[in-house]
Structure 1
């Protein structure tokens, strides 16, 4: 059959699990959602037998999902053929498109005339939606878009609702979270040649927060080759965790960095704020951190697929942040988030 890929997961208030990704329709990819009951069975009250797919444009990739306070489901990603645009979809609790949002539940946003890839989404306390990713082709920049609750662009944010930030030659925002004071923290990677972890904090109007790092921007070189931040979470004390991968030669390892609230590295964590580890296979990949976006100060959780080739697995490691890597108790949990209509895979709630 056709390929079906899960990219992100969210938990509803009632404990039901919603996975977002994309499904190959044969000619192109479509946004796809699957909802599971708490026991891992498909939720028949959602979409068609627990599954929702939606065609937005020629090629649609859902990369992130979040649940509003009213339990409506917001899915972010990108769509298009030759040039990509940010794409948002909002669904009602039964999986139907929310017609009060954008154009019958769909919003697409062109930030620059070339490519615009949306990778993450967060919801502010006032219900406004902020999507993050990158824009450009030869040279790319961090890109943010803020939407009102009805899906229209928020003109009080940046320029007409849009913000781009040039850090180095190639910049890619991969994850976003909102602080309690509603400042916006965006993580990813940046560089020309090799890349470093990149972290940017914005004020509520989209301007750079100059009290953070160097005029709002922090980059962290973990190894001499490529370092890529893919996830971000806030602890209850507002310290910031960024999770991703770092290269040792051609081999990838997991990397976790903790920052103080001003953007400086937290010297009490790992080795001067940095922890790297591998689960012992050919490659390790880090894509998710913390799940809920807010972590207790005494513990953290990281997840990401591990192993070479095209494996679709997740590994989770829980550790005490102040302990060195060698002293950490590691619990690896394999999670298949690849979903398939003909061979339905259940998700284990970890």
Structure 2
């Protein structure tokens, strides 16, 4: 998206409210729609659910995403659920363990009765006091692909925190009031020590042709932080230019008072100061890039640098173009970290089992510096463990990988009501169950480093 588009955005400014909004997920962020084209039979099947992100809360696990529980009346709704350390639904949270939120809108849209106005959560953060921030998108208009940023704050017990924007939730609309010109989605939350927080994702015109970094800073009460300013962007926000065809904030790392955000085409990353300006000393002319592929995750490295993980689909292996896992390491200042690999890049082309990676939904660095990457390899969930230099850790699983059977489920595979393995990556531990329902003992005790049930490890 070119900066000229922000003249339209500035004319309407950012509209923030706590009321109605709906949601839909079109092709612009590369993920399937929340309902995935399924309609459960009442009384015979559990409502279809999709887990999108997870965090540790109250000793258990909070998972956010979407649910079709109210499909007939409200469309797909935002879902928050908490599980106990033993893997049971925590019935003390929300309503019998779940919070389901509808941001309003008709259940049916203009195209042959197709259900629209879907809401979805894509990211979650647990604050020091136990309260929970949840963010994603809500549909901004019933007859378009328009989407607004949606943020919800819950108390530790799962009830809406009405000190946040007076309702416990906010909708951030881009462009003119009632306009449907923009598509926005939040993929990352970064809380600050003083109660403020960043949300990051992407924003594009409704045609979805060019996604750009979008960064918003909120005050603790849910209002926009008007001290955060960037030339050419609405107050409270920093909006990126057309650095690549598609940039999306898939992760954020705090560096002092500045924040580094990265994700999308060519493993792009930028650094934004606390005042809201882009740090042009970062990378090359203000941006770090590695040509080829798309990054889906960003984390800080122990040496102060940055690591992005994603895939590249055009690598020639054995005379054929294949999808491969790609990792890019930058220094703290956005320069290629050549100690990690040539130009800071590692692309895994061997053994053959690492090929055809199409998505990455989990990236963590263990306390010992080893790297965990969870990816989708053509509908087969795979957990990779790599050495600090990017080599596969062959002591882990088979050739550095643990695989599960084909599931035909879109990643990330966290907690679902459907069959197939459920995987969670938390810090330096990974948890998985092959059962359809969680049972006692799903989570290990705090002394366990790694538990992979049903894998033989």
Aligned to 1:92: 155
Worse-matched range after superposition: 334-343 or 50-59: 334-343
The alignment's C-alpha RMSD in Å is 2.6
Any conservation in 1 of the 2:323–2:355 contact (CA below 8 Å)?
no
Aligned to 1:114: 182
Once the two structures are superposed, residues 10-42 of structure 1 have per-residue CA deviations (whole angstroms, 9 ceiling, x without a partner) of 012x42111111112315221101111111111
> Of residues 416, 422, 432 in structure 2, which corresponds to 1:339?
416
Q: Distance in 2 between matches of 1:243 and 1:323?
A: 11
| CA 1:341–1:304: 2 relative to 1, 3 Å | closer
Any conservation in 1 of the 2:311–2:324 contact (CA below 8 Å)?
yes
Q: Distance in 2 between matches of 1:287 and 1:204?
A: 28
Any conservation in 2 of the 1:36–1:50 contact (CA below 8 Å)?
yes
1:317 aligns with 2:384: yes
Aligned to 1:18: 62
> Of residues 265, 276, 287 in structure 2, which corresponds to 1:206?
276
Q: Distance in 1 between matches of 2:235 and 2:367?
A: 36
- State the aligned residue count: 333
1:32 aligns with 2:85: no
Deviation at 1:49, TM superposition (A): 2.2
Aligned to 2:431: none
Once the two structures are superposed, residues 138-170 of structure 1 have per-residue CA deviations (whole angstroms, 9 ceiling, x without a partner) of 333211111000100000112410111113363
> Of residues 72, 77, 97 in structure 2, which corresponds to 1:50?
97
Aligned to 2:217: 146
Once the two structures are superposed, residues 250-309 of structure 1 have per-residue CA deviations (whole angstroms, 9 ceiling, x without a partner) of 64322211111111111111343212237446544212212xxx765732222233333x
1:127 aligns with 2:195: yes
1:65 aligns with 2:124: yes
| CA 1:280–1:144: 2 relative to 1, 3 Å | same
3-state SS of paired residue (1:70): coil
Any conservation in 1 of the 2:123–2:187 contact (CA below 8 Å)?
yes
Q: Distance in 1 between matches of 2:214 and 2:413?
A: 30
Q: Distance in 2 between matches of 1:345 and 1:97?
A: 28
Q: Distance in 1 between matches of 2:101 and 2:370?
A: 38
Q: Distance in 1 between matches of 2:357 and 2:251?
A: 25
3-state SS of paired residue (1:215): coil
3-state SS of paired residue (1:272): helix
Computing the radius of gyration over CA atoms, which structure comes out larger, 1 or 2?
2
> Of residues 155, 175, 180 in structure 1, which corresponds to 2:226?
155
> Of residues 293, 306, 314 in structure 2, which corresponds to 1:240?
306
| CA 1:231–1:169: 2 relative to 1, 3 Å | closer
Query: Of the two structures, which has the highest relative contact order with CA contacts closer than 8 Å and spacing of 6 or more?
Result: 2
> Of residues 364, 377, 381 in structure 2, which corresponds to 1:306?
377
| CA 1:323–1:344: 2 relative to 1, 3 Å | closer
Q: Distance in 1 between matches of 2:224 and 2:50?
A: 29
Worse-matched range after superposition: 208-217 or 61-70: 208-217
TM-score, normalised via structure 2 length:
0.67
1:229 aligns with 2:292: no
3-state SS of paired residue (1:177): strand
Aligned to 1:7: 52
Task: Point out the structure with the larger helix share.
Answer: 2
Task: List gaps (5 residues or longer) in structure 1.
Answer: 191-195
TM-score, normalised via structure 1 length:
0.86
Q: Distance in 2 between matches of 1:155 and 1:220?
A: 33
> Of residues 174, 181, 184 in structure 1, which corresponds to 2:256?
181
Q: Distance in 1 between matches of 2:48 and 2:273?
A: 40
Any conservation in 1 of the 2:387–2:393 contact (CA below 8 Å)?
no
Q: Distance in 2 between matches of 1:34 and 1:139?
A: 33
Any conservation in 2 of the 1:147–1:154 contact (CA below 8 Å)?
yes
